[in-house]
């Protein structure tokens, strides 16, 4: 089947060396390669399920973030790289008038939705196909609002077959891979060329249809990534990237904690909650630094009030050393260390202000209601503002430093040491201030540092998922062996089905502990 279908065009976000074109068509890899077999399998499954060959295949990869965690949605630049694990999507016209979505793997439900892209995604109903529908919607909403002349005359029924390799809930952005590959498949089918950065921008908005208030890092790197390079991704004034050459003599090793970061389901108390906390921290800082209540209600991100924070911080610069120290001093002066309750915040921002501020966003509203309730231990959940702001303002400084070190001409040994310090500082901040690590990640990170990693940190949203470790080349083999023995082999059961049935992976803190000894 694979060789029969070699005339099917493949749209891949990665193989394009033309930065302005959205995608190029390229042939399969050489026969016999894994890639070739996987594409062949996709075509075969597509053909047997839909009784027709796909017309196009699209491909988009997952990513690992090297530094800059939980700051993309605050408007700050981040530094990820694409990985080889990807999602591929076959697409072809069907004779009906629905979009039908299937997965090559068993255990994934089959769904159909209307080609009418104005239909909402059913957020209350968690299905992997929601990501495909979100991408579909994103494509046409983008075209309609930005490039209406490219809008197809008529939207037809399509078959889509998905084959994903990025483990779900692992912090490697399986969701961006599926969203971006689906969007490329639909664009490819209709033959509509769109600039890469535009695709990266609109696919970032797609995750919101599914209920995650994500920033744009994952989609940016999935669409704009290049082989052998990390990228510094900027979101302002519009999305663009800078190449970051990686230092010689070291390897970034990604290790899975085998704990699932259940982001879509847990978003109201984890991911989206942080987005809400950051907005509230920004509002209170704004208020304390001279904004009216009304102005403070409109502030969305910590980056918007940063100039005021810095201005106020000037007076501390002498005493606190750097401007960075002064920023931290201002945040600690103006935001309480304790949790804020809903009532306390309304006392500051005005009665009814919280509901009003988040009224237009049902996902954030859910987090607001979670914060008003109690946690598993019967304690009020509340909002931590000082800690979240301290993380964001310190993490965003580490990102340009990381690039500067990579670009610099210091000896390899020195570079490695400096990069390691930034990565380890990032982890400490994620764990202590942003509270997005978990027991299993902390354990894996500690083992990694003991067994040859210069640095190790969580990557992606956290609360489970993967670590990324900076390892000198000569230590890589020993490092991997050590993790094998000390982490993976001490589990009572390694979930062999991990890649096949991701739903069976336990959430952080809920799986069996490593065996003693």
Quote the CA–CA distance of 95 and 91 in Å, as a whole number. Answer: 13
Residue 401 phi, psi (nearest 5): -65, -40
Residue 200 touches ligand NG1, criterion: CB under 6 A: no
Binding partner of 420, given ligand NG1, Mg ion, none, CB within 5-8 angstroms per partner class: none
User: 452, 478 in Cβ contact below 8 A?
Assistant: yes
Compare residues 70 and 342 and give the one whose CB is closer to ligand NG1. 70
CA atoms within a 13 Å half-sphere pointing along the CA-CB vector of 405:
24
**Length of the chain in residues, anyone?**
517
| 218 carries an active-site annotation | yes
Shortest Å distance, C-beta 215 to ligand NG1: 4
Distance of CA 273 to the CA centre of its chain: 16
Quote the CA–CA distance of 210 and 456 in Å, as a whole number. Answer: 31
Shortest Å distance, C-beta 351 to ligand NG1: 32
Residue 422 phi, psi (nearest 5): -60, -45
User: 123, 130 in Cβ contact below 8 A?
Assistant: yes
Can you tell me whether residue 101 is helix, strand or coil?
strand
Residue 395 touches ligand NG1, criterion: CB under 6 A: no
Compare residues 69 and 277 and give the one whose CB is closer to ligand NG1. 69
Residue 182 touches ligand NG1, criterion: CB under 6 A: no
Q: How far is CA 148 from CA 138, 152, 289, in A?
A: 14, 9, 43
Residue 12 touches ligand NG1, criterion: CB under 6 A: no
| Active-site position among 29, 72, 218, 376 | 218
The tokens 């201005």 sit on which residue? Answer: 311
Residue 86 touches ligand NG1, criterion: CB under 6 A: no
Binding partner of 215, given ligand NG1, Mg ion, none, CB within 5-8 angstroms per partner class: ligand NG1
Shortest Å distance, C-beta 457 to ligand NG1: 11
Taking CB under 6 A as the criterion, the residue among 59, 70, 342, 398 binding ligand NG1 is 70
Q: Which region among 3-11, 59-67, 171-179, 289-297 touches Mg ion (by CB under 5 A)?
A: 171-179
Q: Which region among 40-48, 152-160, 173-181, 473-481 touches Mg ion (by CB under 5 A)?
A: 173-181
User: 406, 245 in Cβ contact below 8 A?
Assistant: yes
Binding partner of 454, given Mg ion, ligand NG1, none, CB within 5-8 angstroms per partner class: none
Residue 74 touches ligand NG1, criterion: CB under 6 A: no
Shortest Å distance, C-beta 355 to ligand NG1: 25
Beta-carbon contacts of residue 509 (< 8 Å; ≥ 6 apart): 438, 439, 440
Can you tell me whether residue 67 is helix, strand or coil?
strand
Residue 214 touches ligand NG1, criterion: CB under 6 A: yes
Q: How many helices (H) and strands (E) does the chain have?
A: 18, 12
Quote the CA–CA distance of 269 and 275 in Å, as a whole number. Answer: 10
Sketch the per residue contact string, 419 through 458, with ligand NG1: x for CB under 6 A, - otherwise. ----------------------------------------
Residue 175 touches Mg ion, criterion: CB under 5 A: yes
Quote the CA–CA distance of 164 and 63 in Å, as a whole number. Answer: 13
Q: Which region among 37-45, 209-217, 249-257, 300-308 touches ligand NG1 (by CB under 6 A)?
A: 209-217
Shortest Å distance, C-beta 257 to ligand NG1: 12
**Residues forming the active site:** 218
Site residues, ligand NG1 (CB under 6 A) = 65, 69-70, 72-73, 171, 173, 175-176, 207, 212, 214-215, 217-218, 263, 460-461
């Amino acid at each position: 089947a694979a060789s029969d279908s070699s005339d099917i065009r493949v749209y891949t976000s990665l193989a394009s060396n033309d930065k302005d074109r959205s995608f190029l068509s390229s042939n399969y890899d050489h026969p016999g390669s894994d890639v070739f077999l996987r594409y062949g399998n996709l075509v075969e499954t597509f053909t047997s399920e839909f009784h027709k060959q796909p017309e196009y295949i699209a491909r988009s990869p997952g990513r690992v973030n090297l530094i800059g965690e939980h700051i993309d949605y605050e408007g700050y630049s981040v530094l990820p790289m694409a990985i080889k694990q990807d999602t591929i999507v076959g697409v072809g016209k069907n004779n009906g008038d629905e979009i039908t979505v299937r997965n090559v793997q068993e255990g994934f439900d089959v769904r159909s939705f209307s080609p009418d892209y104005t239909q909402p995604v059913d957020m209350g109903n968690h299905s992997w196909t929601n990501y495909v529908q979100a991408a579909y919607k994103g494509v046409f909403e983008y075209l309609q609002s930005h490039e209406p002349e490219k809008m197809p005359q008529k939207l037809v029924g399509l078959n889509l077959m998905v084959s994903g390799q990025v483990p779900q809930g692992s912090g490697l952005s399986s969701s961006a891979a599926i969203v971006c590959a689906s969007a490329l498949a639909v664009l490819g089918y209709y033959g509509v060329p769109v600039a890469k950065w535009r695709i990266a921008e609109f696919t970032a908005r797609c995750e919101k249809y599914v209920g995650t208030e994500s920033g744009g890092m994952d989609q940016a790197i999935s669409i704009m990534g290049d082989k052998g390079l990390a990228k510094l991704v900027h979101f302002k004034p519009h999305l663009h990237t800078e190449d970051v050459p990686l230092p010689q003599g070291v390897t970034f090793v990604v290790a899975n904690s085998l704990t699932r970061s259940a982001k879509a389901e847990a978003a109201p108390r984890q991911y989206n909650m942080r987005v809400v906390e950051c907005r509230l921290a920004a509002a209170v800082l704004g208020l304390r630094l001279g904004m009216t209540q009304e102005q403070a209600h409109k502030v969305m991100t910590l980056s918007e009030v940063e100039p005021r924070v810095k201005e106020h911080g000037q007076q501390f610069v002498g005493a606190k050393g750097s401007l960075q120290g002064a920023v931290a001093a201002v945040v600690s002066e103006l935001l309480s260390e304790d949790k804020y309750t809903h009532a306390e915040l309304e006392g500051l921002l005005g009665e009814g202000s919280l509901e009003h501020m988040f009224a237009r966003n049902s996902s954030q509203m859910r987090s607001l209601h979670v914060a008003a309730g109690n946690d598993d231990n019967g304690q009020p959940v509340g909002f931590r503002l000082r800690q979240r702001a301290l993380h964001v303002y310190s993490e965003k400084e580490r990102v340009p430093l990381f690039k500067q070190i990579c670009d610099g001409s210091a000896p390899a040994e020195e570079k490695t040491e400096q990069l390691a310090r930034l990565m380890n500082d990032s982890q400490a901040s994620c764990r202590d201030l942003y509270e997005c690590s978990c027991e299993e990640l902390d354990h894996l990170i500690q083992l990694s540092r003991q067994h040859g990693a210069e640095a190790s940190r969580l990557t992606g949203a956290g609360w489970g998922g993967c670590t990324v470790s900076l390892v000198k080349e000569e230590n890589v083999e020993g490092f991997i062996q050590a993790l094998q023995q000390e982490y993976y082999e001490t589990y009572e059961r390694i979930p062999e089905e991990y890649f096949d049935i991701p739903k069976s992976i336990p959430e952080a803190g809920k799986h069996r502990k490593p065996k003693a000894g």
